[in-house]
Amino acid sequence: MSERGHYGKNDVGMGPFVGATPSTFYVERSPPSTGAWIIGILATGGAVLWARHQSKQIEQLYKASDMSYQTFASSLGQSARAIPSRVRGLVGSKAALVAAEPTPVDHPTHSTRSRARAR
């Protein structure tokens, strides 16, 4: 609690005096109504159905254009199965980076065009 404006005998923390208004207010909140629950359920269900419809439309477009189609779940599973080989590749490439020597730079740090304009 802010103690600004308390001067002189400061009895903060000793409780309210007789006739003083309490400094703590409790606000009761009513639970959500049944109508709010129904609207939330309908909105969520509608969003799920719309996403499913969009997914089916995309799948049909891929089939019509003779392109391969992969669902999100199968793509995620394939990526998860590839993680161990990626880790092995990173460990191998880190060892190769440590062994590699830095190469000297053959080009100037600034362009020759800007040097020509300065003359």
Q: Decide if pLDDT at 2 tops 70.
A: no
Average pLDDT of the residues in 85-90: 81
Q: How far is CA 116 from CA 52, 108, 119, in A?
A: 61, 13, 6
pLDDT at 20: 65
At 44, the pLDDT band (50, 70, 90 cuts) reads: very high
Q: Which letter does DSSP use for residue 11 in this model?
A: -
0.75 cut: is pTM over it? no
For 58-77, b/e burial (b = at least 16 CB within 10 A) is eeeeeeeeeeeeeeeeeeee
Report the SS3 class of residue 51.
helix
Average pLDDT of the residues in 59-63: 91
* Token code pair at residue 63: 């089939």
